[in-house]
Amino acid sequence: MDISDIATNDYIEVEAEERLGKVRSIFESENPKGIIVTEAGQYAGVVTERQLIQSHIGDDTKVAAMVTDAPKVERTEDVRDTARMLVEGGTKIAPVFEADKLWGVVTEDAILAAVLENLDALDVGDIYTEHVVTVEEDETMGRVINLLREHGISRLPVVDDDGFLSGIVTRYDIVDFVVRDTEKTTRGDRRGEVERLLDLPVYDEMTSPVETASLGDSVRDAVEGMLENDYSGVIVTPEDDDRVVGGILTKTDVLRALSYTEEEHLDVQITNIDLLDALSRQEVRERIEDVAAKYGDMRVHHAHVRLSKHKEKLRGTPLIQSQIRLRTNKGQIAGTGEGYGADNSFHVALDKLERNVLELKGIEHDEEYEGQLLRKLNEL
């Protein structure tokens, strides 16, 4: 299946010389997944809402300052390959070309809607993200912002004093909250006002109730809910208790699953692959395979590496966060690390992944020994 039937030439386009204020108003009024930017009539890149809400650039700045690359796809590109491009490009929209000329766009929502009927074959438990960072209701909004940055994520489930799910807060909620309230201050220094806002508890700004899905639900049902309500993800809970945070399922998780391949070697997807400097995809794959081999009974079905760049630099080299997640027959295993340059941060994350793999191996062996001991005791 290719994207010729789901790509559309109905898209929003602005010139690179346009003001960011106009772009912000377009996102607010029309809610597109992204906006195509042209320069002298030629494709120049895209601007996404995520970029804007993370930016402190003023409204009078030209759009050219915010343009970013997005994977270019042909109108007859395969749907699975396009899904992989969106995941690895860390974007929800890609420009579509026909005969080397910009024809339109394709979005993650269009892809998911097109393959919806095929998602019945998957359960949420097959593809969700298991390891999730949570935040308590009385944590401050400042702490929430730090957690989102530290872990390179866009949403945090909120739990009450008993550890049960009570709400969710997203990056968009936070930016909306800061902008909405600080705009009330029209004169004088706003710094004290902002600091006061960041000290407020997350309970005051979280969204509740929360859209959830259980491990046994079909991915199709979960995606239908996301598309209908314009959610980017849902909280995953155990089938016997919808108050417990068991993980999260996002549209990106589903796109990633669509692009799984049956390769002779480990299938590795790398989000923001352009940040790789001294490393190649093959080297990344080989090093992950070496770590997985330390646990002989573990089979890795899929590996995902996510790279995120921070503004901080050391002698011109940016601070990079690397997140590695393995989906295996022993469950999900992850490792995260930061360092200056992709090579350094990847090695830190790989070291943590290796420790987690060996820890899981040790736990399983301990449980096996305990079972053998109990069986022997019962025979006495």
On whether residue 5 sits in a domain, the answer given is: no
Domain's final residue, options 226, 254, 282: 254
Q: Using CA atoms, how far apart are residues 203 and 247, in angstroms rounded to an integer?
A: 20
148 SS3 class: helix
Contacts of residue 308, defined as CB under 8 A and 6 or more positions apart, other chains included, come to: 152, 272, 320, 321, 323
47: enclosing H helix or E strand: strand 42-47
Same domain, 235 and 125: yes
43: enclosing H helix or E strand: strand 42-47
Number of H helices, E strands in the chain: 12, 16
Same domain, 132 and 218: yes
Are 287 and 300 in contact by the 8 Å Cβ rule? The answer is no
pLDDT of residue 73: 92
Contacts of residue 282, defined as CB under 8 A and 6 or more positions apart, other chains included, come to: none
**CATH number reported for the structural domain that contains residue 203 in this entry:** 3.10.580.10
Domain's final residue, options 210, 233, 254: 254
pLDDT of residue 293: 84
Q: 94 has which bridge partners?
A: 106
Same domain, 174 and 196: yes
Same domain, 55 and 144: no
Same domain, 244 and 137: yes
Judged by phi (left if over 0) then psi (alpha if -120 to 50, else beta), residue 163 lies in left
On whether residue 245 sits in a domain, the answer given is: yes
Same domain, 95 and 125: no
pLDDT of residue 176: 64
Interior/surface letters 22-55, b for 16+ CB within 10 angstroms, e for the rest: ebbebbeeeebbbbbbbeeeebbbbbbbbbbbee
Whose tokens are 């992709």? That residue is 342
Q: Using CA atoms, how far apart are residues 176 and 301, in angstroms rounded to an integer?
A: 39
Q: Using CA atoms, how far apart are residues 24 and 49, in angstroms rounded to an integer?
A: 8
Note the pLDDT tens digit of each residue in 320-346.
Answer: 999 998 888 877 888 999 999 988 999
pLDDT of residue 168: 93
Nearest to 159 by CA among 248, 241, 243: 243
pLDDT of residue 178: 56
pLDDT of residue 306: 87
On whether residue 249 sits in a domain, the answer given is: yes
Same domain, 160 and 203: yes
Q: Using CA atoms, how far apart are residues 360 and 170, in angstroms rounded to an integer?
A: 31
In degrees rounded to 5, what are phi and psi of residue 145?
-60, -40
In degrees rounded to 5, what are phi and psi of residue 9?
-95, 15
Domain count, the chain: 3
Q: Using CA atoms, how far apart are residues 142 and 180, in angstroms rounded to an integer?
A: 16
pLDDT of residue 375: 54
pLDDT tens for the chain, 380 residues long, are 789 889 998 899 999 999 988 888 888 788 888 899 999 888 998 988 777 766 667 788 899 888 888 889 999 999 988 998 888 877 889 999 998 899 999 999 999 999 998 898 889 998 898 878 899 999 998 888 888 877 767 789 999 999 999 999 987 777 666 555 444 444 444 444 556 677 889 998 888 889 999 999 999 999 999 999 888 899 999 988 888 999 999 998 899 888 776 555 677 888 888 888 778 888 888 898 888 888 877 788 788 898 888 878 888 888 999 999 888 887 788 899 999 998 899 999 999 999 888 887 775 555 554 454 455 455 54
On whether residue 299 sits in a domain, the answer given is: yes
301: containing domain: 263-369
Same domain, 80 and 128: no
On whether residue 379 sits in a domain, the answer given is: no
**CATH number reported for the structural domain that contains residue 294 in this entry:** 3.30.160.100
Q: Using CA atoms, how far apart are residues 139 and 184, in angstroms rounded to an integer?
A: 24
Domain's final residue, options 57, 80, 107: 107
Q: Using CA atoms, how far apart are residues 8 and 261, in angstroms rounded to an integer?
A: 27
Same domain, 221 and 321: no
Distances (CA, A) of 295 to 264, 298, 365: 19, 6, 11
In degrees rounded to 5, what are phi and psi of residue 313?
-135, 160
Sheet order of strands, 300-314 included: 268-271, 300-314, 317-328, 331-340
Structure tokens at 46: 């895209």
235 SS3 class: strand
Nearest to 87 by CA among 232, 281, 252, 307: 252
| Rounded-to-10 torsion of CA 207, 213, 219, 222 | -40
On whether residue 4 sits in a domain, the answer given is: no
On whether residue 114 sits in a domain, the answer given is: no
Neighbours of 360 (CB within 10 A): 16
Torsional sign, CA 86, 172, 187, 200? negative
Same domain, 219 and 243: yes
Nearest to 233 by CA among 217, 203, 210: 210
Same domain, 59 and 167: no
On whether residue 377 sits in a domain, the answer given is: no
Same domain, 80 and 198: no
